[in-house]
């Protein structure tokens, strides 16, 4: 079985602006990502992004906007030697209907676990919100909470 480091997006990979980030010009990656993520890859981890994108169901932006931002993120990380295995996002908003993919539920994590034959007990989810930790727990993955917009280096040694 494979092992993975799951990563929340806003506040972990890019600066959480306290409003939706759906334009490339508003997407600012946090420092030292390449260094830390390359280290995870060297330890044999797949890198998978798990993110809520409720602005889609609220009509603020579309799937195409999210794909543009994600393409930019993937290309920027590739320039630093990082390979993102996959990106999963939930477009739903809780007041507009219930779903099992929106964190704190674990649907996206479970989908990735199955698709990539990932052992949850050997995997981690790095996030900055309680909902990330709750989703990790539901999926049987070890949760690591970091400070929003913090330095990923502060938690890298927790990934064994």
CATH of the domain at 39: 3.40.50.1000
Domain carrying residue 89: 3-158
Half-sphere exposure of 127 (CA within 13 A, CB side): 24
Structural domains of the chain, count: 1
pLDDT values of the chain reduced to their tens digit, one per residue, 160 residues: 999 999 999 999 999 999 999 999 999 999 999 999 999 999 999 999 999 999 998 899 999 999 999 999 999 999 999 999 999 999 987 765 678 888 999 999 999 999 999 999 999 999 999 999 999 999 999 999 999 999 999 999 999 9
- CA separation, residue 105 to residues 20, 39, 92, 99, 126 (Å): 20, 28, 12, 8, 15
Question: 85: helix, coil or strand?
Answer: coil
Count helices and strands (H / E) in the chain. 4, 5
How many residues appear in the chain?
160
Catalytically active residues are 8, 10
């Amino acid at each position: 079985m494979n092992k993975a480091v799951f990563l929340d997006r806003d506040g972990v990979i890019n600066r959480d602006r306290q409003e939706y980030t759906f334009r490339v010009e508003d997407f600012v990656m946090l420092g030292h990502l390449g260094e830390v993520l390359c280290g995870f890859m060297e330890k044999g981890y797949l890198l998978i992004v798990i993110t809520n994108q409720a602005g889609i169901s609220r009509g603020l932006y579309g799937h195409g906007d999210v794909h543009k931002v994600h393409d930019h993120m993937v290309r920027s990380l590739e320039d630093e030697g990082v390979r993102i295995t996959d990106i999963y996002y939930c477009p739903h908003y809780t007041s507009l209907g219930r779903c099992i993919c929106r964190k704190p539920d674990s649907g996206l994590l479970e989908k990735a676990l199955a698709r990539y034959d990932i052992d949850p007990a050997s995997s981690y989810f790095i996030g900055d919100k309680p909902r990330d930790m709750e989703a990790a727990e539901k999926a049987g993955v070890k949760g690591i909470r970091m400070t929003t917009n913090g330095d990923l280096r502060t938690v890298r040694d927790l990934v064994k």
